[in-house]
């Protein structure tokens, strides 16, 4: 930076010296012209010619030196000018000095034009008295002045080009800086895209894992539906077997009751005619009612068996999804006939007395039987039947046992909720 400032100072000093020398030469030229005009009758042609040649050579050398210095100045300013054109105090002083010199150059140009006009007037006024050689030299001096003016105009144009080049250079450097910033942003964007690609790959892996888990869950659900269907079919078969067994037990109980009734008829009892007639009538009524109830039970059992068989066939024929929906309540239809079974007739093994017939005709017993036939086997009734008979005894045998006369003796041991249900 110091070398650059020193060169610029030397350049300015050289320009000042050249300007002074030009002023000196112009003053000498004006003196020569005045002498020529005053001493036109006695011209020293050789001396004038030599002075003019010297002045022309000096002007040529000065123009060459000026052009050389300006080229050096342009090269220095272009090579050392920063991208952001922020000038220091020295640069501002140089610009101010350059403006002053340009103003002086304009003043010199105006003076030069006035001298040219005066030189042009000299040959026209003294063309008759001057020597042709002097006229030639004067014309040549005028040509040199014109050439000097052309050089000065060229310098001005070069200065303008320099300023335009400097502005273009500053724009280029700013563009390069913006390119560097764009490269930095592009690099950051590439890093960001790379990170996003990594995240996308991880999400794709997670999606594959979730799809695999979903397939496994679907497979497990299908297997569970098959298992539920198998269990529902198994439960229906068990209930069907239980219903068939209950039917067989009821048929056996009917046969036993018929045998007991036939044996009871053969027994001889010592009764009055009034009691015998009463007992016979009551026994006939009871047997008729028992026969009607047993027929109802058999018909209901046949319907239940047919219904269970049809449901089993439908389950085996239906698709998997419909079976799984049906299997959520496998015993809803199968338990209905068992819950609605009516009472069994009481056993004739007990002695036939008016007290026993009164016990059989108890209104509370008839109320319970009617509730069982209407509402079916409720939760309270199931709890009651659990306290009757043996632990593994079937429901049909418990009903037969109750019909034989143990039902009324068990009423006092039933839960209070069941008693309220009966009442």
Record the tokens describing residue 222, joined without a space: 């299908």
What is the structure's pLDDT at 351? 42
* 90 contact partners, CB below 8 Å, separation of at least 6: 5
Block means of pLDDT (10 residues each) for the chain, 423 residues, are 62 68 70 59 55 68 71 64 45 71 74 63 50 74 78 83 83 82 85 87 88 84 75 82 84 83 63 71 81 83 83 73 40 39 42 43 53 63 68 66 53 43 41
Record the tokens describing residue 285, joined without a space: 């009524």
Cβ atoms within 10 A of the Cβ of 62, count?
19
Among 20, 101, 104, 107, smallest CA distance to 62 is for 20
**Residue 92 lies inside a defined structural domain of this protein:** yes
**Residue 40 lies inside a defined structural domain of this protein:** yes
Backbone angles phi, psi at 75, to 5 degrees: -65, -40
Please give the DSSP secondary-structure letter assigned to residue 268. Answer: -
Contact 240, 309 (CB under 8 A): yes
What is the structure's pLDDT at 385? 67
**Residue 52 lies inside a defined structural domain of this protein:** yes
**Residue 147 lies inside a defined structural domain of this protein:** no
What is the structure's pLDDT at 397? 67
DSSP string, 36-72: HHHTSSS--HHHHHHHHHHHHHHHHHHHHHHHHHHHH
| Alpha-carbon gap, residue 23 to 38, rounded angstroms | 22
Task: Please write the tens of the pLDDT for every residue from 227-246.
Answer: 777 787 888 888 888 888 88
Last residue of a domain, one of 110, 130, 150: 130
**Residue 183 lies inside a defined structural domain of this protein:** no
Angle at the Cα of 169 from the Cα atoms of 165 and 87, rounded to 5 degrees: 95
Last residue of a domain, one of 115, 130, 145: 130
- Going through 93-195 in order, the beta strands assigned E by DSSP cover none
What is the structure's pLDDT at 32? 66
What is the structure's pLDDT at 410? 47
Task: Please write the tens of the pLDDT for every residue from 160-217.
Answer: 888 888 888 888 888 888 888 888 888 888 888 888 888 888 888 888 888 888 888 8
What is the structure's pLDDT at 369? 59
DSSP string, 388-401: SS-TT--HHHHHHH
What is the structure's pLDDT at 379? 66
| Alpha-carbon gap, residue 81 to 68, rounded angstroms | 20
Contact 308, 236 (CB under 8 A): yes
Record the tokens describing residue 102, joined without a space: 């340009």
Please give the DSSP secondary-structure letter assigned to residue 267. Answer: S
CA distances 98 to 95, 117, 263, 343, 376, Å, are: 5, 29, 155, 135, 124
Last residue of a domain, one of 105, 130, 155: 130
| Alpha-carbon gap, residue 293 to 370, rounded angstroms | 12
**Residue 230 lies inside a defined structural domain of this protein:** no
| Alpha-carbon gap, residue 288 to 292, rounded angstroms | 6
What is the structure's pLDDT at 92? 66
Residue 374, domain extent: 362-423
**Residue 422 lies inside a defined structural domain of this protein:** yes
Number of domains in the chain: 2
* 162 contact partners, CB below 8 Å, separation of at least 6: 74, 77, 78
**Residue 275 lies inside a defined structural domain of this protein:** no
């Amino acid at each position: 930076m110091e070398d650059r400032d020193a060169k610029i100072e030397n350049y300015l000093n050289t320009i000042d010296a050249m300007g002074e020398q030009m002023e000196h030469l112009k003053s000498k030229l004006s003196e020569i012209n005045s002498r020529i005009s005053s001493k036109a009758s006695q011209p020293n042609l050789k001396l004038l010619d030599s002075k003019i040649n010297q002045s022309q050579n000096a002007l040529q050398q000065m123009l060459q030196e000026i052009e050389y210095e300006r080229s050096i100045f342009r090269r220095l300013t272009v090579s050392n000018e920063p991208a952001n054109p922020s000038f220091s105090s020295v640069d501002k002083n140089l610009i101010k000095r350059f403006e002053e010199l340009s103003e002086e150059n304009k003043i010199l140009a105006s003076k030069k034009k006035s001298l040219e006009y005066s030189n042009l007037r000299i040959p026209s006024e003294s063309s008759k008295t001057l020597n042709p050689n002097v006229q030639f030299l004067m014309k040549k001096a005028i040509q040199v002045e014109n050439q000097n003016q052309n050089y000065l105009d060229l310098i001005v144009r070069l200065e303008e080009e320099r300023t335009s080049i400097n502005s273009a250079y500053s724009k280029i450097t700013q563009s390069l800086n913006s390119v560097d910033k764009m490269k930095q942003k592009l690099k950051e964007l590439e890093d960001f895209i790379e990170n996003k690609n990594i995240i996308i790959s991880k999400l794709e892996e997670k999606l594959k894992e979730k799809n695999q888990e979903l397939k496994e869950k679907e497979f497990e659900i299908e297997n569970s539906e098959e298992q539920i269907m198998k269990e529902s079919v198994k439960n229906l078969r068990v209930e069907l077997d239980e219903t068939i067994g209950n039917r067989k037990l009821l048929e056996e109980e009917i046969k036993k009751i018929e045998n007991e009734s036939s044996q009871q008829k053969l027994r001889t009892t010592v009764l009055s005619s009034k009691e015998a007639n009463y007992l016979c009538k009551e026994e006939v009524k009871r047997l008729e009612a028992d026969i009607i109830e047993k027929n109802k039970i058999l018909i209901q059992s046949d319907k239940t068996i047919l219904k269970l068989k049809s449901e089993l066939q439908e389950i085996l024929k239906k698709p998997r999804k419909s079976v799984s929906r049906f299997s959520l309540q496998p015993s809803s239809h199968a338990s209905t006939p068992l819950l609605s079974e009516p009472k069994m007739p009481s056993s004739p093994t007990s002695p036939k007395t008016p007290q026993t017939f009164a016990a059989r005709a108890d209104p509370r017993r008839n109320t319970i039987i009617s509730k069982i036939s209407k509402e079916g086997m409720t939760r309270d009734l199931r709890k009651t039947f659990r306290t009757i008979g043996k632990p593994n005894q079937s429901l049909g045998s418990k009903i037969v046992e109750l019909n034989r006369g143990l039902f009324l003796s068990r009423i006092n041991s039933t839960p209070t909720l069941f008693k309220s249900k009966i009442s």
